């Protein structure tokens, strides 16, 4: 099959590209940057079109020329609280342009990468101390601009699904960790990845608070696998949205212990309490992954121990 991947040079996109190539598919990437450092090993097998998803004409031209069977849409703007105008333009307007391009190109399916942020803030039963797992039909009332754009984009995606021949689906991911995040993203959203990468390169990791907070975390290779699984599933899909859960609401203390078992001498200093990333709204929760499992038989293949071992090996190889 032929795939067009928006944001394919980003953290998740790079693993999606690698996964699809590994399964023998053709992959083109539509990206605002030409920095192929995260897909160095496979860059020569990918057609790269540099452009902005807000540029509907360029995007449609590329899609019509490439004729993908499926469009996987990962391009997004994440600094949403600082710049809500750009957030809405890229995440909502850009998503509409991606769907319209898929329709014009006669694609079979669009897979949109949404987030558990649609369920934030995780108050009441969703949050500490119960962390009741959240199913897809739970109420969506995000207060943060990132979640607001994700819900709006999901609605746009669903509208295109109802009003065209293209099947359109949204995947709501748990908190993602994995190689590439430290190169691409600064700040507390990298907490889980920093906890592995800093000790792996001989540096310490310390946070004042948050050791008792649990969160549903998922390894980036499972993210790519879930996207490929849904992209390749036979028509019709039964639902417009699916949670992609890591399957483990792990506390920071437990995650740190798992790292200590793998990374020799890992210096991790984690204070007690909640909210390790010190975010104004709580994003820490557990997702109910039953829908993915019942419809596709999909489950994450990496529990935290296996993910940490895999991640550590990649970092060590890179540093060697």
Ligand X SMILES: NC(=O)c1ccc[n+]([C@@H]2O[C@H](COP(=O)([O-])OP(=O)(O)OC[C@H]3O[C@@H](n4cnc5c(N)ncnc54)[C@H](O)[C@@H]3O)[C@@H](O)[C@H]2O)c1
Residues that bind ligand X (CB under 6 A): 7, 9-13, 31-33, 52-54, 74-77, 90, 94, 113, 115, 173, 175-176, 184
CB 7 within 8 A of CB 31: yes
Q: Which is nearer to ligand X, 184 or 309 (CB)?
A: 184
- The count of other CB atoms within 10 Å of the CB of residue 148 is 21
Buried/exposed 271-289: b ≥16 CB within 10 Å, e otherwise: eeebbbbeeebbbbbbbbb
CB of 310 to ligand X, least distance (A): 17
Phi, psi of 286 (to 5 degrees): -115, 135
Residues 275, 230 contacting (CB under 8 angstroms): no
> Could you tell me the smallest distance in angstroms from the CB atom of residue 248 to ligand X?
15
Assign 317 to helix, strand or coil. helix
Comparison of 7 and 276: residue with beta carbon closer to ligand X: 7
Alpha-carbon distance values, 76 to 14, 36, 73, 201 (Å): 14, 17, 9, 30
| Smallest distance from ligand X to CB 202, Å | 25
Tell me how far, at minimum, the Cβ of 92 lies from ligand X, in Å: 12
Nearer residue to ligand X within complex by CB, 2 or 54: 54
Characterize the bridge pairing of strands 214-219 and 109-115: unpaired
Smallest gap from residue 265 Cβ to ligand X (A): 28
**Matching residue, tokens 């969703």:** 126
Question: Between residues 74 and 148, which has the closer beta carbon with respect to ligand X?
Answer: 74
CB closer to ligand X out of 7 and 300: 7
Of all residues in the shown chain, the one whose CB is closest to ligand X is 10
């Amino acid at each position: 099959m032929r795939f067009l991947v928006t944001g394919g040079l980003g953290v998740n996109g790079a693993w999606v590209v690698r996964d699809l190539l590994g399964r023998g598919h053709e992959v083109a990437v539509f990206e605002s940057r030409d920095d192929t450092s995260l897909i160095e090993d496979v860059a020569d097998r990918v057609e790269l079109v540099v452009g902005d998803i807000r540029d509907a004409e360029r995007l449609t031209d590329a899609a019509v020329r490439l004729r993908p069977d499926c469009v996987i849409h990962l391009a997004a703007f994440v600094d949403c609280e600082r710049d809500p105008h750009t957030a809405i333009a890229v995440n909502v307007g850009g998503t509409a342009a991606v769907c319209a391009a898929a329709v014009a190109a006669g694609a079979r399916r669009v897979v949109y990468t949404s987030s558990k942020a649609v369920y934030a803030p995780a108050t009441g039963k969703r949050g500490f101390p119960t962390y009741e797992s959240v199913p897809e039909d739970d109420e969506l009332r995000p207060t943060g601009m990132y979640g607001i754009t994700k819900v709006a984009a999901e609605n746009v995606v669903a509208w295109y699904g109802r009003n065209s021949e293209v099947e359109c689906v949204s995947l709501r991911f748990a908190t993602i960790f994995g190689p590439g995040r430290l190169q691409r993203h600064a700040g507390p959203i990298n907490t889980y990845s920093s906890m592995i990468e800093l000790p792996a390169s001989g540096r310490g990791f310390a946070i004042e608070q948050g050791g008792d907070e649990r969160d549903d975390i998922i390894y980036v290779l499972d993210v790519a696998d879930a996207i490929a699984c849904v992209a390749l599933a036979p028509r019709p899909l039964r639902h417009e949205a699916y949670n992609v859960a890591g399957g483990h609401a792990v506390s920071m203390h437990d995650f740190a212990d798992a790292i200590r078992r793998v990374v020799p001498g890992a210096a991790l200093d984690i204070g007690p309490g909640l909210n390790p990333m010190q975010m104004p709204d709580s994003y820490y929760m557990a997702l109910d992954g039953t829908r993915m499992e019942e419809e596709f038989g999909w489950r994450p293949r990496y529990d935290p121990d296996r993910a940490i071992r895999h991640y550590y090996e990649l970092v060590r190889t890179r540093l060697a």
